[in-house]
Amino acid sequence: PFPSGAPAIFAVAAARLGLDSGFIGAVGADAFARLLQERFRQEGVDATQLQSVPGYATAVAFVAYAGDGSREFVFHLRHAAAGAVAIDALEPAFFDRVQWLHLSGSTLALNENSREAARRVLSLAQARGGLLSFDPNFRPELLAQAEALTIFEPFLEAAALILPTAAEAQLLTGFEDAEAAGRALLARGARLVGIKRGAAGAIFCTADEVVRAPGYAVAEVDATGAGDCFNAACVWGLQQGWALEKIARFATAAGALAVTRQGPMEGVPTMASVLKLL
């Protein structure tokens, strides 16, 4: 088994790029919990808000890869510890240090408790000036499309940074054209929208600029996790105050490196490896 989960991959990717990173969530008291806890420890991810919930199994996911590159997931999340975060046990003081809160739509898809936890951490972060980055990470295995649109909307409106795939951008806006979809997402209030296009790279939209970044030529071994590395790299670039062109090259390089290793977070790039590819 590999330690995984989109938010966990993001947390590790942020840490490897040099950001001070922490994870909010819940595990059980089994070997899979220890796998994740040990990885966070190795990577320097603050796990003080990683709760251990008695009586629940740690969430697991299975992924099947089809020959055409598509994936199918089997999730055991909803009734696992991941869906049972104890909201009252979250420490408000943790959020004093949070400049960016990253949320994945897959978390919102779990159950009402997860959505309530997300609303709570968002209000804790925003009250302290923290910004939201949001990846819809729409998984049809977890949520129907119509329900996803309703559930995601308040988070799209709260986000400074929206990071969908091209398919998700279309689902959220109705526009097939990525630039039109990007503009529609910016209209929700974001300052940057980064639309992920797998091997084809990404399209970045701000109010004044559109940057189309081609994909780096790499040998793809396992695409899972590329989006989360890309996301963390975008946050890094914004934190540095970089120009859009530079963020685009950096984030697409981080995503490309992630696909070169088997395992969801095994290929998470370090800052040195991204700089080497650039």
How many residues of this chain interact with ligand ATP, rule: CB under 6 A? 23
DSSP code for 232: H
Determine, following the binding rule CB under 5 A, whether residue 4 of this chain makes contact with Mg ion: no
- DSSP codes of every residue in 68-94: TS-EEEEEE-TTSGGGG--GGGS-GGG
Determine, following the binding rule CB under 5 A, whether residue 227 of this chain makes contact with Mg ion: yes
Rounded CA-CA distance 238/23 in Å is 20
Task: Identify which of residues 194 and 227 has a Cβ nearer to Mg ion in the complex.
Answer: 227
140-172 burial code (b ≥16 CB/10 A, e <16)? eebbeeeebeebbeebbebbbbbbbbbebbbbb
β-pair partners for 193: 162, 205
CB–CB of 195/181 below 8 Å? yes
Determine, following the binding rule CB under 6 A, whether residue 263 of this chain makes contact with ligand ATP: no
Computed on alpha carbons and rounded to an integer, the radius of gyration of the chain in Å comes to 17
Rounded CA-CA distance 64/83 in Å is 23
- Name the one range near Mg ion by CB under 5 A: 52-60, 73-81, 134-142, 150-158: 134-142
Task: Identify which of residues 28 and 182 has a Cβ nearer to ligand ATP in the complex.
Answer: 182
Determine, following the binding rule CB under 6 A, whether residue 224 of this chain makes contact with ligand ATP: yes
Determine, following the binding rule CB under 6 A, whether residue 5 of this chain makes contact with ligand ATP: no
182 binds, among ligand ATP, Mg ion, none (CB under 5 to 8 A by kind): none
- Name the one range near ligand ATP by CB under 6 A: 49-57, 84-92, 123-131, 211-219: 211-219
Rounded CA-CA distance 233/254 in Å is 7
**Applying CB under 6 A, which of residues 202, 238, 244, 274 lies at the interface with ligand ATP?**
202
Determine, following the binding rule CB under 6 A, whether residue 220 of this chain makes contact with ligand ATP: yes
Determine, following the binding rule CB under 6 A, whether residue 2 of this chain makes contact with ligand ATP: no
Determine, following the binding rule CB under 6 A, whether residue 30 of this chain makes contact with ligand ATP: no
Smallest CA-to-CA distance from 216 within 234, 197, 231 is with 197
- Footprint of ligand ATP on 137-176 (CB under 6 A): 137, 165
Q: Is 177 an annotated catalytic residue? A: no
Q: What single-letter amino acid sits at 15?
A: A
| Residue numbers at the binding site for ligand ATP (CB under 6 A) | 137, 165, 196-199, 201-202, 215-216, 218, 220, 223-228, 230, 252, 255-256, 259
| Residue numbers at the binding site for Mg ion (CB under 5 A) | 137, 227
Residue numbers annotated as active site: 228
